[in-house]
Amino acid sequence: EDKVVQSPLSLVVHEGDTVTLNCSYEVTNFRSLLWYKQEKKAPTFLFMLTSSGIEKKSGRLSSILDKKELFSILNITATQTGDSAVYLCAVPPQGGSEKLVFGKGTKLTVNP
Amino acid sequence: DAGVIQSPRHEVTEMGQEVTLRCKPISGHDYLFWYRQTMMRGLELLIYFNNNVPIDDSGMPEDRFSAKMPNASFSTLKIQPSEPRDSAVYFCASNLGGRGFSGANVLTFGAGSRLTVL
C-alpha cells in the first residue's frame, strides 16, 4: 500500500528560525511529490518535484527530493508568523492515477 | 475564476439526518475529488470522477455515503443516515488531468464543508 509519512507532527519555533520538514514515501512507479500549505481553510499548492526537477525554490521556501532514499524535505528560512500552518506532502499512488495520497502533515507554529 | 466552490461551509445536524454537500469545480477541469479530513486520519480520498464518471470509490467508508456528478459543473456528496463519527471537514478538489505530465496532479481545493453530527 502506498504510504506517505511526515515528521515531525508538530513544531514550534521563533520568528527568524530555520525549519526543516520531512516527508518519506513508499510508492512504486514514482512520478511526482507535491507540497501543500494549509492555513485555516483549504490546502494551497507550494511545489511539485519530479524526476526531472529535484529541487525547487520560492523565496524563503525550498524543497529537495531524494529519489534514491525516497524522501523530500521542505526548508523555510527566516520564518515569519505567517508561515504558521500545516504543511502537507502528497504523492500519486502507483498506477499513475490522478489522485493524491497525503501524509498527515506537520503543524508549524511560528511565535513572534 | 472563482476557484472550487463548496457549500455549505458549516453544517450541524443530528444523528440520523441526511446531509448533502455540494461542489462546483473549476471550469474546464475534468477531474473532481472528494476528500475528508480529520485530526486522526488526515486527508483521505473518498471518491474521484473523470468527465463526470466515478473512477475510484474505494475510499467511501460505507453504503451510507454516496456521490454523484450529474454534469461537469456540479457534484454532491450525500451521507444518509449521518453518524457522529462522520464529523469532519469535507473538501472538494479539481484538476485538469493528464494533459502532459507537468502539473498533472496539482489539485485545487475548495474551502471545505465542516460537518458536525451531534
Q: What's the angle, vertex CA A43, arms to CA A52 and CA B57, rounded to 5?
A: 85
What stretches of chain B adopt beta strand conformation (E)? 5-7, 10-13, 19-24, 31-38, 42-50, 53-56, 65-71, 74-79, 88-95, 108-109, 113-117
Is B42 within 8 Å of A105 when comparing Cβ atoms?
A: yes
Q: Which among A24-28, B39-43, B73-77 has the top mean pLDDT?
A: B73-77
State which amino acid sits at residue A53. G
Q: What's the CA gap between A29 and B62, in Å, rounded?
A: 30
pLDDT band at B37 (very low <50, low <70, confident <90, very high): very high
Distance of CA A27 to the CA centre of its chain: 16
Q: Does A93 touch chain B (CB under 8 A)?
A: no
Residues 6-65 of B with CB under 8 A from A: 31, 33, 35, 41-43, 45, 48, 50, 55-56
Structure confidence at residue A40 (pLDDT)? 84
Contacts of A50 in chain B (CB under 8 A): 101-102
Contact yes or no for B92/B31 (Cβ under 8 A): no
Q: Is the pLDDT of residue B103 over 60?
A: no
pLDDT of residue B100: 52
Is the CB of B111 less than 8 angstroms away from the CB of A42?
Answer: yes
SS3 content of chain A, % helix, strand, coil (to 5): 5, 60, 40
pLDDT value for A55: 86
- What is the Rg, in whole angstroms, of the alpha carbon atoms belonging to chain B? 14
Q: Distance between CA B87 and CA B78 in Å, rounded?
A: 13
Asked if A105 is an interface residue toward chain B (Cβ–Cβ < 8 A), one would say: yes
pLDDT tens digits, one per residue of A49-92: 987 768 888 899 999 998 888 899 999 999 999 999 999 999 98
Per residue in A10-31, pLDDT (tens digit) is 999 999 999 999 999 988 778 8
Coil, helix or strand for A83?
Answer: helix
CA distances from B108 to B12, B96, B104 (A): 26, 10, 11
Extract the C-alpha cell encoding A104: 498527515
The domains located in chain A, with CATH, are: 3-111 (2.60.40.10)
Q: Do A42 and B33 touch (CB under 8 A)?
A: no
- The C-alpha angle B34, B41, B33, rounded to 5 degrees, equals 10
Predicted local confidence at residue A96, as pLDDT: 59
Count residue pairs from A and B with Cβ separation < 8 A. Answer: 56
